[in-house]
Amino acid sequence: MPPLDSYAEVPSMPYTLNGFGTKFYGNRDQAEDGSYITTLWVTVLWVPFIPLASYRVLPVGQGQNWIIHSSQHYMSRKIPMCWEQVRNVYFAVSPILQDAGMGQARRSAQGKWQETETRRRMSIYKRGDVYWYKFMWNGKLVRESTKQGNDKVARQMEAAHRTSLAKGEVGIREKKKSPLLAEFAERQFLPWAESTFAAKPKTWLYYRNGVRRLVAFAPLASLPLDDPRLGEKVASYVACRQAKDLQVSSLNRELQALRRLLRLAVEWGFVDHVPTVKMIPGEQHREFVLLPEEEAKYLAAAREPLASVATVLADSGMRPEECYRLRWEFVTWVNGRHGTLFVTHGKTAAARRMIPMTPRVRHLLEPRWKAANKPCEGWVWPAPTKSGHLEPSSLKKQHTKALKDSKVRPFVLYSFRHTFLTRLGASGCDVWTLARIAGHSSLAISARYVHPSEDSVLAAVEKLGGHKIGHNAESQVAEVANQGQLTA
């Protein structure tokens, strides 16, 4: 072994800062004096990358190994490059480099997969009961309805469309031109309303009349359904109708028809979205209630069949159309105390109900039934009309004359229903029973007629009798007597 004085300090001592710099790696052929062969490397993050030279070194003194830098003093003697040691160092660090590279690639691939999966999940969305898909292809938006309620099927259809685009089998489908509001109303909406509400002529007329007034307003009717100015023109239509002193309730009925039309356009795929149509506030509901003396005067002045129809309306609370469609097979004389009237259908599903007859209604209908030879079926109010029974127009002239002769406040026949329900609510009937009798589909409507008085509220609380807190009438009397003794 060479003597100690044959060693010299390394010309540039190995030094690293945060893992970057030079460093000795390797330890072989160790001598008795403690020297060994090592190789000086350029390091990156403490990983050896480039070998510079090989040395036989002898560590001298105490080295430093801090987090931010590390150094060590050596006595060294330069020798030829030890390629075997270089090879072994490369073999030792290659798994680390490979794992770092694979880990980075794996993380990159996983990130791309997660991004692709997120985009795939977000590319389908549900509108109503069916799923739609949308994605960008060559800078163009593709958006279509799958007409499916299953999300898995929707994703498969989206994937098929993407595949077709990628193979060039289909091009970007041109977006269908949106129809004008007037065209959609005449060709799609009105035929749908006529077929859907064939059994409800008044509903069909309601939509037909509303649409006719909408298409008569040219600035609105001439716009495509996807025109961004549609909301602005709806506001112009409202302003135009209000300038003609149209009642708020009448204007809201027209807006309801427009709202239904626009929603069907979206549901059928003619447009992606439409502006929100809001109702005008300040609508007045039917709140006219006949006084008992007004009812008596009107019935005395009315002629038949108006007098009989009005009496049935005032004592049953039926809607006028339900009364006009009444048939003898649905009049039962033995049910209940005085018989019942069965309403088969009406404005809503809740309109199908059984209504008890009052004595006045029975005394009116029974002679009429006997005079018709006690029929088992047929209209209670037959008339020479297309339907075979009374219609609202059948009693219009009689009603006008009865109002004039009786000199009561003007009202419509529907006011008899409101009068009956108001009296029923004032009698103490609860809201659930009133809804059943009236055929309401919502308790909120029935609640308009129920107005508990202060006495009824106090009586309801007194029914508890204090049982939940251990008091009764006797204990309350005793408590009052004890209080009197204490104050005496």
| Residue in the structure block whose two tokens are 């004389």 | 333
Strand partners, 332: 340
What pLDDT shows up at residue 364? 92
Residue ranges in 230-275 assigned as alpha helix (H):
230-243, 248-267
Give the DSSP letter of residue 61.
S
How would you label 227-262 residue by residue, b for 16+ Cβ within 10 Å and e otherwise? beebeebbeebbeebeeeebeeeebbbbbebbbbbb
What pLDDT shows up at residue 323? 92
Among the listed residues 82, 91, 87, the one whose alpha carbon sits nearest the alpha carbon of residue 57: 82
**Which residues, 6 or more positions from 477, have their beta carbon under 8 angstroms from its beta carbon?**
none
Give the DSSP letter of residue 224.
B
What pLDDT shows up at residue 481? 55
What pLDDT shows up at residue 29? 81
Low-confidence ranges of the chain (pLDDT < 50): 1, 4, 12, 66-69, 480, 486-488
Strand partners, 194: none
Among the listed residues 38, 42, 39, the one whose alpha carbon sits nearest the alpha carbon of residue 21: 42
Q: Using alpha carbons, list the distances in angstroms from residue 232 to 220, 276, 366.
A: 9, 11, 59
Among the listed residues 75, 70, 77, the one whose alpha carbon sits nearest the alpha carbon of residue 59: 75
- pLDDT, tens digit, 9 for 90 and up, residues 133-152: 888 777 777 888 888 888 88
Strand partners, 78: 55
Host H or E run for residue 207: helix 201-215
**Which residues, 6 or more positions from 126, have their beta carbon under 8 angstroms from its beta carbon?**
132, 151
Question: For every residue of 431-442, which 3-state class applies, written as one string?
Answer: HHHHHHHHCCCC
What pLDDT shows up at residue 249? 86
Among the listed residues 10, 66, 67, the one whose alpha carbon sits nearest the alpha carbon of residue 40: 10
The three-class DSSP label of residue 69 is strand
- What is the spatial distance between Cα 22 and Cα 12, in angstroms, rounded to a whole number? 9
With 0-12 / 13-18 / 19 or more C-beta atoms within 10 angstroms meaning exposed / middle / buried, residue 91 is exposed
Q: Are strands 36-44 and 20-28 parallel, antiparallel or unpaired?
A: antiparallel
Maximum alpha-carbon separation in the chain: 146
What pLDDT shows up at residue 486? 43
Among the listed residues 415, 416, 413, 417, the one whose alpha carbon sits nearest the alpha carbon of residue 440: 417
What is the distance in angstroms between the CA of the first residue and the CA of the last residue of the chain?
125
- pLDDT, tens digit, 9 for 90 and up, residues 165-218: 777 755 555 567 889 999 999 999 999 999 988 888 888 888 999 999 999 999
Q: What global pTM score does this model have?
A: 0.52
The three-class DSSP label of residue 248 is helix
